[in-house]
Copies of this chain bind each other. A is one copy, B any other.
Amino acid sequence: MDVKSDNRAERVAARTARQDKNLFSRLSATAIASRGQAQRLLKTAAGLSITEWRVLWDLSEAGPLSIQDIATIQRTDHSLISRTLPKMSEKGWVTAIRNCDDKRQFLVELTPSGARALAAAAPTMKRRRDNLAKAFTPRELDTFLHLLDRFEDVLARPVDIEPSLEETA
């Protein structure tokens, strides 16, 4: 029915607009779009996945690092790093050596080959950051980061879970 499908398009548009103003969904959608862009750029420029790029960059800036170190820097789970490293080792981009001080740990280090893989993607990713720096003043970027700080403060506070209409002790 014509009228019915007109209604549907309006309902979709209204709901989409509504959710675009819901900061929770909007932040998620924006971050996913950003990640998608990074994935495409890295793939095209250097055949790297996002996690590979992050590991190479972290080792370049702060290496050598343990798996837990890398996971902490990237705010991710150690298992994601743990799974990524063998492949990167196979590609010759990193070496992982047992830490003599603590045999549970590996210390991961960039190789010359890894430095080249990083260098293949670095100009593109720098341009991406430069584009952002051009679009926002330092003050606006500070505001943005501060708002994200405050948003995470809100996340850190517990949200009560109560069954509907029930008052519990």
Contact = CB atoms under 8 A, between A and B. Distances in A.
Between A5, A8, A11, A161, the greatest number of chain B beta carbons within 10 A of the residue's beta carbon is seen for A161
Nearest to A162: B123
A152 B65 contact: no
Nearest to A26: B148
B45 A155 contact: no
- Chain A: interface size category: 35 or more
A18 interface: yes
B135 A153 contact: yes
Contact of A62 (B1, B12, B23, B128): B12
- Each complex incorporates copies of this chain amounting to 2
A72 interface: yes
Contacts of A143: 143, 147
Nearest to A116: B164
Contact of A8 (B8, B69, B141, B157): B69
Nearest to A38: B24
Given A155-B37, A164-B120, A27 B73 contact: no
Contacts of A37: 155, 159
A29 interface: yes
Given A101-B1, A154-B135, A27 B27 contact: yes
A131 interface: yes
A7 to B, nearest CB: 10
B151 A30 contact: yes
Contacts of A41: 159, 161
Contact of A31 (B16, B30, B131): B30
